[in-house]
Chain A
Amino acid sequence: MNKNLFTLPSSLIAVVLALLGVAPHAHADHDALFQDYPAKVEATTALAREYMKTHPGQGSDSLRRNVIAGLSDGSVAPARVLTPARKRKLSAREVFELCRPSSLVVCRFEHNDAYALDSAYSNASAVALTPDGICATNYHVVADLVLSGALGHEVKNDLMRFLMDHEGNIYPFRQVLHVDPINDMAIIRVDTNGRKLTPASIGTDVPQGTTVYCLSHPTGAYYHFTDGMVSNCTRSTNKRTGRDKYILEITSDYGVGASGGPIFDDCGNLVAIVSSTFSLYAQPQQYRNFQMAYKQTVPVFLIRECFTD
Protein backbone atom coordinates (compact mmCIF):
# COMPACT_ATOMS: atom_id res chain seq x y z
CA MET A 1 0.00 0.00 0.00
CA ASN A 2 1.10 3.55 -0.64
CA LYS A 3 2.10 5.11 2.64
CA ASN A 4 1.57 8.60 1.24
CA LEU A 5 -2.14 8.01 0.90
CA PHE A 6 -2.60 8.91 4.49
CA THR A 7 -0.39 11.97 4.92
CA LEU A 8 0.63 14.48 2.36
CA PRO A 9 4.45 14.59 2.25
CA SER A 10 5.80 17.66 4.00
CA SER A 11 7.68 18.71 0.85
CA LEU A 12 4.43 18.73 -1.08
CA ILE A 13 2.76 20.77 1.65
CA ALA A 14 5.64 23.25 1.51
CA VAL A 15 5.28 23.58 -2.29
CA VAL A 16 1.53 24.07 -1.98
CA LEU A 17 1.97 26.67 0.74
CA ALA A 18 4.59 28.47 -1.34
CA LEU A 19 2.27 28.51 -4.33
CA LEU A 20 -0.49 29.91 -2.18
CA GLY A 21 1.85 32.60 -0.99
CA VAL A 22 1.75 31.48 2.61
CA ALA A 23 5.12 32.29 4.11
CA PRO A 24 6.33 30.88 7.46
CA HIS A 25 4.91 33.21 10.09
CA ALA A 26 6.61 35.08 12.86
CA HIS A 27 5.77 32.69 15.70
CA ALA A 28 6.78 29.46 13.96
CA ASP A 29 8.86 28.42 16.98
CA HIS A 30 5.69 27.94 18.98
CA ASP A 31 3.87 25.82 16.43
CA ALA A 32 4.78 22.52 18.05
CA LEU A 33 2.86 23.59 21.12
CA PHE A 34 0.03 25.53 19.47
CA GLN A 35 -1.40 22.98 17.07
CA ASP A 36 -3.76 23.88 14.23
CA TYR A 37 -5.94 20.78 14.46
CA PRO A 38 -8.86 22.20 12.43
CA ALA A 39 -6.44 22.57 9.49
CA LYS A 40 -5.48 18.91 9.91
CA VAL A 41 -9.15 17.90 9.85
CA GLU A 42 -9.65 20.07 6.78
CA ALA A 43 -6.69 18.38 5.08
CA THR A 44 -8.30 14.96 5.58
CA THR A 45 -10.76 15.76 2.77
CA ALA A 46 -7.95 15.38 0.23
CA LEU A 47 -6.68 12.22 1.94
CA ALA A 48 -10.14 10.68 2.04
CA ARG A 49 -10.71 11.55 -1.60
CA GLU A 50 -7.39 9.94 -2.52
CA TYR A 51 -8.21 6.84 -0.48
CA MET A 52 -11.56 6.47 -2.23
CA LYS A 53 -9.76 6.64 -5.58
CA THR A 54 -7.22 3.98 -4.70
CA HIS A 55 -9.69 1.77 -2.79
CA PRO A 56 -12.86 1.85 -4.87
CA GLY A 57 -15.82 0.07 -3.34
CA GLN A 58 -14.45 0.28 0.20
CA GLY A 59 -16.51 3.16 1.51
CA SER A 60 -19.52 3.35 3.80
CA ASP A 61 -21.76 1.27 1.54
CA SER A 62 -19.33 -1.64 1.64
CA LEU A 63 -19.10 -1.24 5.41
CA ARG A 64 -22.90 -1.38 5.64
CA ARG A 65 -23.18 -4.44 3.41
CA ASN A 66 -20.78 -6.38 5.63
CA VAL A 67 -21.77 -4.99 8.99
CA ILE A 68 -23.83 -7.96 10.19
CA ALA A 69 -21.37 -10.59 8.95
CA GLY A 70 -18.58 -8.79 10.78
CA LEU A 71 -20.33 -8.47 14.15
CA SER A 72 -19.15 -10.79 16.88
CA ASP A 73 -21.15 -11.75 19.97
CA GLY A 74 -18.14 -13.15 21.71
CA SER A 75 -14.49 -12.26 21.70
CA VAL A 76 -13.24 -9.88 19.03
CA ALA A 77 -9.58 -10.80 19.65
CA PRO A 78 -7.44 -12.58 22.25
CA ALA A 79 -6.86 -10.66 25.49
CA ARG A 80 -3.10 -10.74 24.88
CA VAL A 81 -3.41 -8.17 22.07
CA LEU A 82 -4.30 -5.51 24.63
CA THR A 83 -1.57 -3.42 26.23
CA PRO A 84 -1.22 -4.19 29.95
CA ALA A 85 -1.82 -1.48 32.53
CA ARG A 86 1.03 0.84 33.52
CA LYS A 87 1.84 1.16 37.20
CA ARG A 88 3.91 4.33 37.46
CA LYS A 89 2.05 7.48 38.40
CA LEU A 90 2.50 10.33 35.98
CA SER A 91 2.01 14.07 36.06
CA ALA A 92 -0.93 15.48 34.10
CA ARG A 93 1.51 16.75 31.50
CA GLU A 94 3.05 13.27 31.14
CA VAL A 95 -0.39 11.66 30.84
CA PHE A 96 -1.24 14.04 28.01
CA GLU A 97 2.00 13.41 26.11
CA LEU A 98 1.77 9.65 26.61
CA CYS A 99 -1.88 9.32 25.69
CA ARG A 100 -2.32 11.85 22.90
CA PRO A 101 -1.40 9.38 20.11
CA SER A 102 -4.06 6.93 21.34
CA SER A 103 -6.89 9.47 21.20
CA LEU A 104 -8.42 9.61 17.73
CA VAL A 105 -10.90 11.87 15.95
CA VAL A 106 -13.89 10.21 14.25
CA CYS A 107 -14.62 11.80 10.87
CA ARG A 108 -17.21 11.45 8.14
CA PHE A 109 -16.56 12.03 4.47
CA GLU A 110 -19.74 13.08 2.72
CA HIS A 111 -20.98 14.43 -0.56
CA ASN A 112 -22.95 17.65 -0.43
CA ASP A 113 -25.52 17.87 -3.21
CA ALA A 114 -26.10 21.59 -2.80
CA TYR A 115 -22.44 22.46 -3.37
CA ALA A 116 -21.65 19.38 -5.50
CA LEU A 117 -18.72 18.88 -3.17
CA ASP A 118 -17.19 16.06 -1.13
CA SER A 119 -15.88 17.08 2.27
CA ALA A 120 -14.76 15.56 5.55
CA TYR A 121 -15.70 16.75 9.01
CA SER A 122 -15.21 15.46 12.53
CA ASN A 123 -18.10 14.36 14.69
CA ALA A 124 -16.85 12.16 17.53
CA SER A 125 -13.87 10.57 19.26
CA ALA A 126 -12.33 7.12 19.60
CA VAL A 127 -9.38 5.37 21.21
CA ALA A 128 -6.86 2.91 19.78
CA LEU A 129 -6.80 -0.50 21.48
CA THR A 130 -4.34 -2.42 19.31
CA PRO A 131 -1.55 -1.38 16.93
CA ASP A 132 -3.22 -3.18 14.00
CA GLY A 133 -6.40 -1.10 14.01
CA ILE A 134 -8.86 -2.23 16.68
CA CYS A 135 -10.41 0.82 18.33
CA ALA A 136 -13.28 1.63 20.69
CA THR A 137 -15.93 4.30 20.39
CA ASN A 138 -19.59 4.69 21.32
CA TYR A 139 -22.41 2.65 19.86
CA HIS A 140 -24.29 5.86 19.10
CA VAL A 141 -21.38 6.95 16.86
CA VAL A 142 -21.86 3.94 14.57
CA ALA A 143 -25.54 3.10 15.23
CA ASP A 144 -26.75 4.54 11.93
CA LEU A 145 -24.20 2.45 10.05
CA VAL A 146 -25.11 -0.72 11.92
CA LEU A 147 -28.89 -0.32 11.75
CA SER A 148 -29.15 0.74 8.13
CA GLY A 149 -26.56 -1.86 7.14
CA ALA A 150 -28.43 -4.58 9.03
CA LEU A 151 -31.47 -3.99 6.83
CA GLY A 152 -29.40 -3.67 3.65
CA HIS A 153 -30.18 0.01 3.17
CA GLU A 154 -27.77 2.28 1.34
CA VAL A 155 -27.41 5.89 2.44
CA LYS A 156 -26.90 8.52 -0.23
CA ASN A 157 -23.91 10.83 0.14
CA ASP A 158 -22.32 8.94 3.05
CA LEU A 159 -18.99 8.16 1.37
CA MET A 160 -16.61 7.05 4.11
CA ARG A 161 -15.95 7.00 7.85
CA PHE A 162 -12.44 7.24 9.19
CA LEU A 163 -10.34 8.09 12.22
CA MET A 164 -7.71 10.81 12.32
CA ASP A 165 -4.71 10.82 14.65
CA HIS A 166 -2.95 13.85 16.13
CA GLU A 167 -0.60 14.04 13.14
CA GLY A 168 -3.43 14.16 10.62
CA ASN A 169 -3.10 10.58 9.35
CA ILE A 170 -6.38 8.94 8.44
CA TYR A 171 -7.55 5.37 9.15
CA PRO A 172 -10.70 4.33 7.23
CA PHE A 173 -13.28 2.16 8.99
CA ARG A 174 -13.04 -1.46 7.85
CA GLN A 175 -15.43 -3.35 10.12
CA VAL A 176 -17.68 -3.01 13.12
CA LEU A 177 -16.54 -5.89 15.34
CA HIS A 178 -18.86 -5.65 18.31
CA VAL A 179 -21.66 -3.43 19.59
CA ASP A 180 -23.21 -3.06 23.03
CA PRO A 181 -26.22 -0.76 22.50
CA ILE A 182 -27.24 -0.88 26.18
CA ASN A 183 -23.89 0.40 27.44
CA ASP A 184 -23.22 2.56 24.38
CA MET A 185 -19.99 0.89 23.32
CA ALA A 186 -18.67 -0.29 19.97
CA ILE A 187 -15.44 -1.93 18.88
CA ILE A 188 -14.34 -1.22 15.31
CA ARG A 189 -11.43 -2.11 13.05
CA VAL A 190 -9.77 0.49 10.84
CA ASP A 191 -7.36 0.18 7.93
CA THR A 192 -3.95 1.28 9.24
CA ASN A 193 -2.42 0.92 5.78
CA GLY A 194 0.78 -0.49 7.25
CA ARG A 195 1.10 2.09 10.00
CA LYS A 196 0.85 1.15 13.66
CA LEU A 197 -1.61 2.82 15.97
CA THR A 198 -0.48 3.68 19.48
CA PRO A 199 -2.76 1.58 21.69
CA ALA A 200 -3.88 2.80 25.08
CA SER A 201 -2.83 0.62 28.00
CA ILE A 202 -5.92 -0.96 29.49
CA GLY A 203 -6.66 -0.17 33.12
CA THR A 204 -8.99 -1.77 35.62
CA ASP A 205 -12.05 -0.68 37.58
CA VAL A 206 -11.51 2.66 39.28
CA PRO A 207 -13.43 3.60 42.44
CA GLN A 208 -14.94 6.97 43.33
CA GLY A 209 -12.33 9.59 44.06
CA THR A 210 -9.79 8.29 41.53
CA THR A 211 -8.12 11.04 39.49
CA VAL A 212 -9.05 10.83 35.80
CA TYR A 213 -8.28 12.77 32.64
CA CYS A 214 -10.39 13.12 29.54
CA LEU A 215 -8.59 13.55 26.21
CA SER A 216 -11.31 13.97 23.60
CA HIS A 217 -12.47 16.16 20.74
CA PRO A 218 -15.50 18.28 21.65
CA THR A 219 -16.66 20.33 18.69
CA GLY A 220 -13.96 22.75 17.59
CA ALA A 221 -11.61 21.81 20.43
CA TYR A 222 -9.47 18.89 19.32
CA TYR A 223 -7.27 17.08 21.83
CA HIS A 224 -9.01 18.89 24.65
CA PHE A 225 -7.53 17.70 27.95
CA THR A 226 -9.44 18.01 31.21
CA ASP A 227 -8.99 16.55 34.65
CA GLY A 228 -11.39 15.44 37.34
CA MET A 229 -12.25 12.42 39.42
CA VAL A 230 -14.57 9.45 39.38
CA SER A 231 -17.69 10.85 41.00
CA ASN A 232 -19.91 7.77 40.88
CA CYS A 233 -20.01 4.13 39.77
CA THR A 234 -23.59 3.06 39.09
CA ARG A 235 -25.38 -0.03 37.85
CA SER A 236 -29.06 -0.07 36.96
CA THR A 237 -31.27 -2.91 35.83
CA ASN A 238 -34.06 -2.07 33.41
CA LYS A 239 -37.21 -3.32 35.14
CA ARG A 240 -38.86 -4.27 31.87
CA THR A 241 -35.98 -5.94 30.05
CA GLY A 242 -33.76 -7.05 32.91
CA ARG A 243 -30.69 -5.72 31.15
CA ASP A 244 -27.91 -4.10 33.17
CA LYS A 245 -26.35 -0.76 32.36
CA TYR A 246 -23.05 0.29 33.91
CA ILE A 247 -22.05 3.93 34.20
CA LEU A 248 -18.86 5.50 35.48
CA GLU A 249 -19.55 9.15 36.26
CA ILE A 250 -16.68 11.58 36.24
CA THR A 251 -16.18 15.29 36.81
CA SER A 252 -13.80 15.92 33.87
CA ASP A 253 -15.42 18.27 31.43
CA TYR A 254 -16.42 17.33 27.88
CA GLY A 255 -19.21 18.00 25.41
CA VAL A 256 -20.60 17.23 21.98
CA GLY A 257 -17.96 15.62 19.79
CA ALA A 258 -16.24 13.92 22.72
CA SER A 259 -18.36 10.76 22.32
CA GLY A 260 -16.10 7.72 22.40
CA GLY A 261 -13.12 9.69 23.67
CA PRO A 262 -10.76 8.07 26.18
CA ILE A 263 -10.68 8.64 29.93
CA PHE A 264 -7.32 7.87 31.53
CA ASP A 265 -6.20 7.38 35.12
CA ASP A 266 -3.05 9.03 36.49
CA CYS A 267 -0.87 6.21 35.17
CA GLY A 268 -2.14 6.84 31.65
CA ASN A 269 -4.31 3.71 31.57
CA LEU A 270 -7.64 3.69 29.77
CA VAL A 271 -10.36 3.42 32.43
CA ALA A 272 -13.45 4.47 30.44
CA ILE A 273 -14.72 6.08 27.27
CA VAL A 274 -17.01 9.09 27.08
CA SER A 275 -20.68 8.31 26.52
CA SER A 276 -23.04 11.18 27.32
CA THR A 277 -23.97 14.02 29.62
CA PHE A 278 -27.11 14.37 31.67
CA SER A 279 -28.20 17.87 32.57
CA LEU A 280 -29.96 18.45 35.86
CA TYR A 281 -32.45 21.33 35.99
CA ALA A 282 -34.34 22.62 39.00
CA GLN A 283 -37.39 22.95 36.73
CA PRO A 284 -36.85 20.06 34.35
CA GLN A 285 -40.18 20.49 32.52
CA GLN A 286 -39.13 23.92 31.32
CA TYR A 287 -35.39 23.14 31.09
CA ARG A 288 -34.87 26.07 33.43
CA ASN A 289 -32.41 26.75 36.21
CA PHE A 290 -29.56 24.49 35.10
CA GLN A 291 -27.72 23.10 38.12
CA MET A 292 -25.20 20.48 37.05
CA ALA A 293 -24.31 18.01 34.34
CA TYR A 294 -23.44 14.39 35.07
CA LYS A 295 -20.69 13.16 32.80
CA GLN A 296 -21.49 9.54 32.02
CA THR A 297 -18.82 7.21 30.67
CA VAL A 298 -18.49 3.54 29.73
CA PRO A 299 -16.26 1.63 32.20
CA VAL A 300 -13.29 -0.12 30.64
CA PHE A 301 -14.21 -3.61 31.89
CA LEU A 302 -16.93 -3.71 29.22
CA ILE A 303 -14.23 -3.22 26.57
CA ARG A 304 -11.87 -5.71 28.20
CA GLU A 305 -14.64 -8.36 28.20
CA CYS A 306 -14.64 -8.26 24.38
CA PHE A 307 -11.10 -9.63 24.39
CA THR A 308 -10.84 -13.19 25.66
CA ASP A 309 -8.47 -16.03 24.82
Chain B
Amino acid sequence: MKVALFVPCYVDQFYPQVGMSTVAVLEHFGVQVEFPEAQTCCGQPMANSGCMPEARPLAHKFIDVFDGYDYVVAPSGSCVSMVRHHYEEFFEHGDVRSARVRRNTMELSEFLTKVLGVKTIFGSFPHRVGIHQSCHGLRELRLSSSSEVMTGRDDLLKDLLSQLEGISFSKLSRNDECCGFGGTFAVAEEAVSCMMGDDRIADHKAAGTTVLTAGDMSCLMHLDGLIRRQKLNIRVMHFAEILSEAIC
Protein backbone atom coordinates (compact mmCIF):
# COMPACT_ATOMS: atom_id res chain seq x y z
CA MET B 1 0.00 0.00 0.00
CA LYS B 2 1.50 3.26 -1.16
CA VAL B 3 0.41 6.03 1.18
CA ALA B 4 1.20 9.70 0.86
CA LEU B 5 0.96 12.20 3.65
CA PHE B 6 -0.63 15.56 2.99
CA VAL B 7 0.30 18.10 5.62
CA PRO B 8 -1.77 21.31 5.42
CA CYS B 9 0.39 24.36 4.67
CA TYR B 10 -0.14 26.06 8.03
CA VAL B 11 0.56 22.80 9.87
CA ASP B 12 3.80 22.43 7.93
CA GLN B 13 4.83 25.95 8.84
CA PHE B 14 3.49 26.38 12.37
CA TYR B 15 2.57 22.99 13.82
CA PRO B 16 5.26 20.56 12.59
CA GLN B 17 4.77 18.34 15.65
CA VAL B 18 1.22 17.57 14.45
CA GLY B 19 2.66 16.26 11.20
CA MET B 20 5.35 14.30 13.04
CA SER B 21 2.73 12.79 15.36
CA THR B 22 0.67 11.77 12.35
CA VAL B 23 3.74 10.00 10.92
CA ALA B 24 4.38 8.33 14.27
CA VAL B 25 0.81 7.07 14.57
CA LEU B 26 0.74 5.78 11.01
CA GLU B 27 4.08 4.03 11.46
CA HIS B 28 2.86 2.53 14.72
CA PHE B 29 0.12 0.86 12.71
CA GLY B 30 2.59 -0.35 10.11
CA VAL B 31 2.15 2.29 7.42
CA GLN B 32 5.28 3.83 5.98
CA VAL B 33 4.16 7.14 4.54
CA GLU B 34 5.79 9.17 1.82
CA PHE B 35 5.82 12.93 1.90
CA PRO B 36 5.81 14.35 -1.63
CA GLU B 37 7.95 17.47 -1.28
CA ALA B 38 6.20 19.48 -3.98
CA GLN B 39 2.96 19.75 -2.00
CA THR B 40 1.82 23.10 -0.62
CA CYS B 41 -1.87 23.85 -0.04
CA CYS B 42 -5.22 22.40 -1.13
CA GLY B 43 -6.46 25.85 -2.19
CA GLN B 44 -9.22 26.19 0.38
CA PRO B 45 -8.34 29.74 1.52
CA MET B 46 -8.81 30.97 -2.03
CA ALA B 47 -11.94 28.92 -2.73
CA ASN B 48 -13.61 29.96 0.51
CA SER B 49 -12.95 33.58 -0.38
CA GLY B 50 -14.80 33.06 -3.63
CA CYS B 51 -11.57 33.33 -5.64
CA MET B 52 -12.06 30.27 -7.81
CA PRO B 53 -9.55 31.30 -10.51
CA GLU B 54 -6.91 31.57 -7.76
CA ALA B 55 -7.87 28.21 -6.22
CA ARG B 56 -7.77 26.36 -9.52
CA PRO B 57 -3.96 26.05 -9.97
CA LEU B 58 -3.67 24.67 -6.44
CA ALA B 59 -6.30 22.04 -7.07
CA HIS B 60 -4.41 20.97 -10.18
CA LYS B 61 -1.13 20.98 -8.29
CA PHE B 62 -2.65 18.79 -5.59
CA ILE B 63 -3.84 16.20 -8.09
CA ASP B 64 -0.48 16.25 -9.91
CA VAL B 65 1.43 15.74 -6.68
CA PHE B 66 -0.73 12.99 -5.23
CA ASP B 67 -1.68 10.99 -8.31
CA GLY B 68 -0.24 7.49 -8.17
CA TYR B 69 -0.76 6.82 -4.46
CA ASP B 70 -3.25 4.32 -3.09
CA TYR B 71 -4.18 6.73 -0.33
CA VAL B 72 -3.52 10.31 0.62
CA VAL B 73 -3.84 10.85 4.37
CA ALA B 74 -4.13 14.25 6.04
CA PRO B 75 -4.51 15.27 9.68
CA SER B 76 -7.31 17.64 8.69
CA GLY B 77 -11.00 17.12 7.96
CA SER B 78 -11.27 20.55 6.42
CA CYS B 79 -8.59 20.14 3.75
CA VAL B 80 -9.83 16.64 2.95
CA SER B 81 -13.38 17.90 2.48
CA MET B 82 -12.05 20.62 0.19
CA VAL B 83 -10.39 17.99 -1.98
CA ARG B 84 -13.18 15.48 -1.88
CA HIS B 85 -16.22 17.73 -2.10
CA HIS B 86 -15.14 20.95 -3.75
CA TYR B 87 -12.64 20.04 -6.46
CA GLU B 88 -15.25 19.03 -9.00
CA GLU B 89 -15.56 22.40 -10.66
CA PHE B 90 -11.81 22.68 -11.27
CA PHE B 91 -11.69 19.62 -13.53
CA GLU B 92 -13.47 18.50 -16.61
CA HIS B 93 -16.50 16.37 -16.08
CA GLY B 94 -15.47 12.72 -15.97
CA ASP B 95 -11.78 13.41 -15.33
CA VAL B 96 -10.57 10.03 -14.04
CA ARG B 97 -7.29 11.10 -12.49
CA SER B 98 -8.72 13.80 -10.22
CA ALA B 99 -11.67 11.59 -9.33
CA ARG B 100 -9.28 8.85 -8.20
CA VAL B 101 -7.15 11.13 -6.05
CA ARG B 102 -10.20 12.78 -4.52
CA ARG B 103 -11.75 9.43 -3.65
CA ASN B 104 -8.53 8.21 -2.04
CA THR B 105 -7.87 11.31 0.02
CA MET B 106 -8.75 10.61 3.63
CA GLU B 107 -8.77 12.27 6.99
CA LEU B 108 -6.54 10.57 9.58
CA SER B 109 -9.23 9.10 11.89
CA GLU B 110 -11.11 7.92 8.82
CA PHE B 111 -8.03 6.22 7.42
CA LEU B 112 -7.18 4.59 10.74
CA THR B 113 -10.66 3.17 11.30
CA LYS B 114 -12.00 2.54 7.81
CA VAL B 115 -8.89 1.50 5.91
CA LEU B 116 -6.60 0.09 8.59
CA GLY B 117 -9.50 -1.18 10.69
CA VAL B 118 -7.87 -0.02 13.92
CA LYS B 119 -10.03 -1.14 16.83
CA THR B 120 -7.68 -1.46 19.78
CA ILE B 121 -4.92 0.92 20.75
CA PHE B 122 -2.59 0.20 23.64
CA GLY B 123 -1.61 3.37 25.39
CA SER B 124 -2.55 5.57 28.24
CA PHE B 125 -3.70 9.18 28.44
CA PRO B 126 -5.00 9.89 31.93
CA HIS B 127 -6.56 13.26 31.20
CA ARG B 128 -10.00 14.80 30.84
CA VAL B 129 -10.27 15.44 27.15
CA GLY B 130 -12.72 17.80 25.50
CA ILE B 131 -13.38 16.97 21.86
CA HIS B 132 -14.07 19.88 19.58
CA GLN B 133 -15.99 18.59 16.58
CA SER B 134 -14.49 20.43 13.65
CA CYS B 135 -17.34 21.31 11.32
CA HIS B 136 -15.94 20.06 8.03
CA GLY B 137 -14.99 16.70 9.50
CA LEU B 138 -18.40 16.52 11.11
CA ARG B 139 -20.82 17.83 8.51
CA GLU B 140 -18.88 17.36 5.28
CA LEU B 141 -17.07 14.08 5.93
CA ARG B 142 -19.60 12.79 8.50
CA LEU B 143 -16.92 11.54 10.89
CA SER B 144 -19.45 11.68 13.74
CA SER B 145 -23.18 12.27 14.28
CA SER B 146 -24.12 15.92 14.08
CA SER B 147 -26.73 17.08 16.57
CA GLU B 148 -28.98 18.45 13.83
CA VAL B 149 -29.38 15.18 11.97
CA MET B 150 -31.34 12.31 13.49
CA THR B 151 -29.25 9.62 11.78
CA GLY B 152 -26.81 8.11 14.27
CA ARG B 153 -23.20 7.64 13.20
CA ASP B 154 -19.99 6.37 14.79
CA ASP B 155 -17.81 9.03 16.33
CA LEU B 156 -14.52 8.00 14.76
CA LEU B 157 -12.26 10.31 16.74
CA LYS B 158 -13.85 9.53 20.09
CA ASP B 159 -13.92 5.81 19.38
CA LEU B 160 -10.17 5.90 18.77
CA LEU B 161 -9.36 7.97 21.83
CA SER B 162 -11.67 5.86 24.00
CA GLN B 163 -9.18 3.02 23.58
CA LEU B 164 -6.64 4.86 25.70
CA GLU B 165 -6.35 3.90 29.31
CA GLY B 166 -7.30 6.53 31.86
CA ILE B 167 -8.89 8.91 29.39
CA SER B 168 -12.19 10.62 30.22
CA PHE B 169 -14.27 12.97 28.12
CA SER B 170 -15.94 16.28 28.88
CA LYS B 171 -19.70 16.49 28.53
CA LEU B 172 -20.43 19.73 26.73
CA SER B 173 -23.64 21.72 26.75
CA ARG B 174 -23.31 22.32 23.00
CA ASN B 175 -21.79 19.24 21.43
CA ASP B 176 -20.87 20.45 18.02
CA GLU B 177 -21.16 24.21 17.72
CA CYS B 178 -18.66 25.89 15.43
CA CYS B 179 -15.57 27.47 17.07
CA GLY B 180 -15.76 30.53 14.83
CA PHE B 181 -12.50 30.10 12.92
CA GLY B 182 -13.88 29.88 9.40
CA GLY B 183 -10.70 30.83 7.52
CA THR B 184 -10.65 34.50 6.56
CA PHE B 185 -13.87 34.81 8.59
CA ALA B 186 -11.64 34.78 11.69
CA VAL B 187 -10.28 38.18 10.68
CA ALA B 188 -13.07 39.62 8.50
CA GLU B 189 -15.70 38.96 11.19
CA GLU B 190 -13.29 39.16 14.12
CA ALA B 191 -15.88 40.17 16.73
CA VAL B 192 -18.25 37.28 16.07
CA SER B 193 -15.37 34.86 15.50
CA CYS B 194 -13.82 35.57 18.90
CA MET B 195 -17.16 35.50 20.69
CA MET B 196 -17.85 32.08 19.18
CA GLY B 197 -14.42 30.88 20.29
CA ASP B 198 -14.90 32.25 23.79
CA ASP B 199 -18.24 30.47 24.05
CA ARG B 200 -16.70 27.14 23.04
CA ILE B 201 -13.90 27.57 25.55
CA ALA B 202 -16.34 28.50 28.33
CA ASP B 203 -18.28 25.31 27.58
CA HIS B 204 -15.08 23.26 27.84
CA LYS B 205 -14.00 25.03 31.00
CA ALA B 206 -17.34 24.32 32.65
CA ALA B 207 -17.07 20.69 31.62
CA GLY B 208 -13.63 20.34 33.15
CA THR B 209 -11.62 19.94 29.95
CA THR B 210 -7.87 19.86 30.64
CA VAL B 211 -6.88 18.80 27.13
CA LEU B 212 -8.77 20.26 24.19
CA THR B 213 -8.51 18.26 21.00
CA ALA B 214 -9.89 18.19 17.47
CA GLY B 215 -9.28 16.75 14.05
CA ASP B 216 -8.38 20.13 12.61
CA MET B 217 -5.50 22.30 13.72
CA SER B 218 -7.16 25.41 12.24
CA CYS B 219 -9.97 25.36 14.81
CA LEU B 220 -7.36 24.69 17.47
CA MET B 221 -5.10 27.52 16.28
CA HIS B 222 -8.01 29.93 16.81
CA LEU B 223 -9.04 28.46 20.17
CA ASP B 224 -5.42 28.19 21.33
CA GLY B 225 -4.91 31.84 20.41
CA LEU B 226 -7.76 32.82 22.72
CA ILE B 227 -6.68 30.40 25.46
CA ARG B 228 -3.12 31.71 25.49
CA ARG B 229 -4.22 35.35 25.44
CA GLN B 230 -6.51 34.66 28.40
CA LYS B 231 -3.82 32.57 30.10
CA LEU B 232 -6.18 29.66 30.68
CA ASN B 233 -4.96 26.32 31.88
CA ILE B 234 -6.14 24.21 28.96
CA ARG B 235 -3.69 22.23 26.88
CA VAL B 236 -4.47 22.19 23.17
CA MET B 237 -3.50 19.13 21.15
CA HIS B 238 -4.40 17.66 17.78
CA PHE B 239 -5.73 14.14 18.33
CA ALA B 240 -2.71 12.74 16.45
CA GLU B 241 -0.52 14.26 19.15
CA ILE B 242 -2.60 12.57 21.85
CA LEU B 243 -2.37 9.20 20.12
CA SER B 244 1.33 9.53 19.51
CA GLU B 245 2.03 10.62 23.07
CA ALA B 246 -0.14 7.83 24.47
CA ILE B 247 1.32 5.12 22.31
CA CYS B 248 4.98 5.97 22.77
A and B part of one assembly: no
B: residues with CB less than 8 A from A are none
A: residues with CB less than 8 A from B are none
